[in-house]
């Protein structure tokens, strides 16, 4: 309580005691002094509640926008796949190769699955091209994860978590790139954002892959920069996934 207010209350108490006023007399005198405090507390409560409600509304609105964007993106990707399906089996090698690259990069979700099917079909037309395209895509995603532009990092992180969480080869590339970054600051002087994004996406990989590569992941966690609370926070999430 404020010292001045405390002193005034003490004086009032002594004054009331001297006149032997009853409880209601005391309340009648003290109430005007406490009213501003009560109003302040009530105002703070309603302001805080209003702000919390506004944040919740903004969160729900943002989630709705993301869902709409995802649906629109999925529709667009499906249309693109439909347009390229015939070219994926085109006897012309050049046309077929372009189609494979196009669906993989322009339609990340369905395109990756289609290209993987082509790649697994040993001896089929375009299988080697599909395997090379997938490997190039892995490298591009990891490099984007370490890009200087925040938008590129976020886009790569989102695509990895949505479409590549069961891809062991991508996990290998991620671990190699982050290890190289942590080992040689002369070659990669500004890796902090890339390391953060890497540690953020790793928990999205399947439990089987995380357990299979537990020693490498634990080694990575031990080397994380201790002066980065955000990275260490994501590291704690990853550590919980591999326990």
Q: What is the pLDDT of residues 74-96, one digit of tens each?
A: 545 656 666 666 677 777 888 88
- pLDDT at site 170: 97
* Alpha-helix runs per DSSP H in the chain: 3-19, 23-88, 93-106, 108-120, 127-145, 150-163, 168-183, 192-201, 207-212, 214-222, 229-241
Judge whether 200 lies within some domain: yes
- pLDDT at site 156: 92
Average pLDDT, the chain: 78
In which band, very low, low, confident or very high, does the pLDDT at 51 lie, cut at 50, 70 and 90? low
More confident residue, 237 or 183: 237
pTM of the predicted model as reported, rounded to 2 decimal places: 0.64
Judge whether 237 lies within some domain: yes
Q: Which of 107, 63, 52 is closest to 85 using CA atoms?
A: 107
Judge whether 19 lies within some domain: no
More confident residue, 96 or 199: 199
- The HSE-up count of residue 177 (CA atoms within 13 Å, CB side) is 25
The total number of structural domains that make up the chain: 1
Q: What is the pLDDT of residues 121-178, one digit of tens each?
A: 877 778 888 899 999 999 999 999 999 898 899 989 999 998 999 999 999 999 999 9
More confident residue, 29 or 88: 88
Judge whether 180 lies within some domain: yes
Range of the domain at 223: 146-243
Judge whether 182 lies within some domain: yes
Q: How far is CA 230 from the centre of its chain?
A: 11
Judge whether 57 lies within some domain: no
- pLDDT at site 79: 65
Judge whether 34 lies within some domain: no
- pLDDT at site 238: 95
Judge whether 181 lies within some domain: yes
Residue 13: pLDDT over 90:
no
Residue 182: pLDDT over 80:
yes
């Amino acid at each position: 309580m404020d010292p001045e207010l405390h002193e005034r209350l003490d004086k009032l108490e002594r004054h009331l005691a001297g006149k032997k006023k009853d409880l209601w007399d005391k309340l009648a005198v003290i109430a005007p002094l406490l009213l501003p405090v009560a109003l302040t507390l009530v105002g703070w409560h309603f302001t805080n509640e209003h702000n919390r409600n506004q944040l919740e509304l903004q969160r729900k609105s943002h989630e709705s926008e993301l869902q709409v964007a995802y649906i629109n993106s999925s529709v667009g990707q499906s249309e693109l796949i439909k347009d390229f399906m015939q070219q994926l089996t085109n006897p012309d090698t050049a046309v077929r190769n372009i189609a494979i690259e196009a669906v993989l990069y322009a339609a990340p979700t369905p395109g990756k699955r289609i290209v993987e099917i082509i790649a697994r079909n040993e001896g089929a037309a375009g299988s080697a091209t599909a395997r090379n395209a997938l490997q190039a895509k892995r490298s591009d995603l990891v490099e984007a994860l370490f890009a200087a532009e925040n938008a590129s990092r976020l886009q790569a992180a989102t695509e990895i978590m949505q479409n590549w969480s069961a891809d062991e080869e991508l996990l290998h590339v991620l671990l190699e790139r982050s290890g190289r970054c942590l080992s040689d600051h002369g070659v990669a002087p500004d890796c902090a954002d890339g390391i953060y994004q890497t540690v953020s996406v790793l928990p999205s990989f399947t439990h089987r892959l995380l357990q299979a590569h537990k020693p490498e992941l634990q080694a990575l966690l031990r080397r994380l920069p201790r002066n980065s609370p955000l990275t260490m926070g994501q590291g704690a999430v990853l550590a919980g996934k591999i326990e």
